[in-house]
Structure 1
Amino acid sequence: MSQPEVKATIENILQNSSVGTMATVQQNKPHSRYMTYSRNGLNLYTATSKQTHKVEEIEGNPFTHILLGYEGEGFGDEYVEYEGKIQISDSKELKKELWNPYMENWFEGPEDPNYIVLEITPIQISLMNKKGTEPKILEL
């Protein structure tokens, strides 16, 4: 599988799999939770509150491991292992761009002072479980 094919497959998974896990480090141990993601190219974005434990964890260690794409079909069900670095953003423009009505369950609106965005830049992205092939690492 060529690098352009690996990239296209990864981008397709990122585009079509908005819910995945995010692991951070809490008291020197891994801590995972489900998050909802948006993307721009290979960068991922997810909303959270300033008042969550994950913000403290990210401030202590900005690196994350994310899993996206596995649909539960078993062997051959492709997914992405995404290693990245998180930056906490309070950008009004980005918050408005990512806002959707579902977020009203947690925030009063895109101007809510507790609403922030986690911007995740990839360090390494691997395509996993492609039927008949070894994992493929996307060259960034």
Structure 2
Amino acid sequence: MSQQEMKSTVEKIIDDNAVGTMATVKQNKPHSRYITFIRKGLNLYTATSLETHKSEEIKANTQTHILLGYEGEGFGDEYVEYEGKVSINSSVDLKHELWNSYMEYWFNGPDDSNYIVLEITPVTIRIMNKKGAEPKTVEF
């Protein structure tokens, strides 16, 4: 499988599975939670509040590990292991682009000062559990 084919596979898995787990580091221990992601290329984006634990954790350590995919069917059910670096993005344009009505529960509109976007840039992405294939690594 070529690098381009692997990237296409990763994009499809992410597009089909927008909700995954995101681990950060809290007091030198892993801390995971479910997150909804939006993909642009192989970068991931998620909305959050400046006042959350994950925001604090990311300020202390920008490393993350994300799992996306795996429908619970067992062997052969592909998923993505995504290691990345997180940055906080407060771009007004990006906040407006990602805004949707579900966010009204947490924020007072896309210009709310507590509304931020976490931007995750991949360091390593692995395609896991493809039936009959060893894990594949997308190179960066």
Normalized against structure 2, the TM-score is what? 0.97
Most deviating of 26-35 and 98-107: 98-107
Q: Give the superposition deviation at 1:14.
A: 1.5
Runs of 4+ in 1 over 4 A off after TM superposition: none
Identity percentage over the alignment?
A: 70
Per the alignment, in what secondary structure is the counterpart of residue 4 of structure 1?
Answer: helix
The structural deviation recorded for 1:3 is 2.1
1:2 shift after superposition = 2.5
Partner residue in 2 for 1:85:
85
Cα-Cα RMSD:
0.8
1:1-140 matches, cutoff 5 A = 1-140=1-140
| Counterpart AA for 1:73 | E
Q: Which runs of 5+ in 1 are unaligned?
A: none
**Amino acid in the other structure paired with 2:89:** S
Amino acid at match of 1:51: E
**Pairwise CA distance, 1:15:** 1.6
Deviations along 1:43-75, one digit per CA (max 9) or x if unpaired, are 000000011111110011001000001111111
Give the AA of the match of 2:47. Answer: A
Normalising by structure 1, report the TM-score. 0.97
Letter of the 1:88 counterpart: I
TM-aligned CA deviation for residue 24 of structure 1: 0.2
Number of corresponding residues: 140
SS at match of 1:20: strand
After TM superposition, give the deviation of residue 4 of structure 1 in Å.
2.3
Structure 2 unmatched runs, 5+: none
Letter in 2 for 1:106: W
**CA offsets per residue over residues 73-131 of structure 1, 9 Å max, x none?**
11100000000000101111000000011111111110111100000000000000000
